[in-house]
């Protein structure tokens, strides 16, 4: 056993515990509180084996799950940027890249490179795995918003067009999930959950 390697791994594990304290605008389905980013990452990682059969192309499930488990670690430093906040998106990429370099650098070089590469792949959305991961990242908050009767949407005055634009990447990743999401959005509008 390499004690330096283990020390680096433990330091990273301790650091990523901070993700549990990063709260999102999404409300838990039981409406008890806002979801944190660690819960969000776990939830969508578990969605991979459940929904992979709906992917438009064959995906490596383990790689996609790992990608989703690390995709929001940057929020430890950069915070969660609300998807409908255009102003906050102005410097999001810079804040998150800086955070990625710091956080992944806590790991031994081989693990640092692997996890940083997975994070970059997720951000680029060029592979089937990254496209499917991004689709799930957009589907899960939609489910939470729908099943809380649009609580977060109403609070932030979100409109139908904004949500439809947000879920557009689902079409490339999964036609069936995209159609399901669109139906949910239209149902939400009919129920008065969205403006």
What pLDDT is attached to residue 84?
84
Average pLDDT, the chain: 96
Domains of the chain, by residue range, sit at: 3-191
Q: Does the pLDDT at position 89 exceed 80?
A: no
**Which strand (E) or helix (H) includes residue 122?**
helix 109-124
**Which strand (E) or helix (H) includes residue 23?**
strand 23-27
Q: Does the pLDDT at position 154 exceed 90?
A: yes
| pLDDT band at residue 193 using 50, 70 and 90 as cut-offs | very high
Architecture per CATH, 3-191? Orthogonal Bundle (1.10)
As a three-state string, the secondary structure of 39-58 is HHHHHHHHHHHHHHHHCCCC
pLDDT tens string 136-152: 999 999 999 999 999 99
For 44-53, letters b (16+ CB in 10 Å) and e give bbebbeebbe
What pLDDT is attached to residue 88?
75
């Amino acid at each position: 056993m390499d004690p330096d390697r283990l020390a680096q791994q433990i330091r990273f594990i301790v650091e990523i515990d901070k993700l549990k304290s990063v709260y999102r605008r999404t409300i838990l389905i039981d409406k008890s509180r806002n979801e944190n980013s660690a819960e969000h990452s776990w939830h969508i990682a578990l969605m991979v084996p459940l929904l992979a059969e709906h992917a438009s192309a064959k995906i490596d499930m383990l790689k996609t799950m790992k990608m989703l488990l690390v995709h929001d670690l940057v929020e430890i430093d950069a915070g969660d940027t609300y998807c409908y906040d255009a102003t906050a998106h102005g410097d999001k990429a810079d804040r998150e890249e800086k955070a990625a370099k710091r956080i992944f650098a806590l790991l031994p070089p081989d693990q640092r490179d692997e996890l940083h590469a997975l994070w970059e792949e997720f951000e680029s959305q060029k592979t089937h795995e990254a496209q499917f991961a991004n689709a799930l990242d957009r589907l899960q908050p939609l489910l939470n918003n729908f099943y809380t009767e649009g609580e977060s949407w109403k609070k932030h005055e979100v409109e139908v067009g904004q949500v439809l634009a947000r879920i557009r990447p689902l079409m490339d990743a999964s036609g069936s999930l995209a159609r399901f999401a669109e139906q949910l959005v239209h149902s939400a509008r009919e129920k008065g959950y969205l403006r």
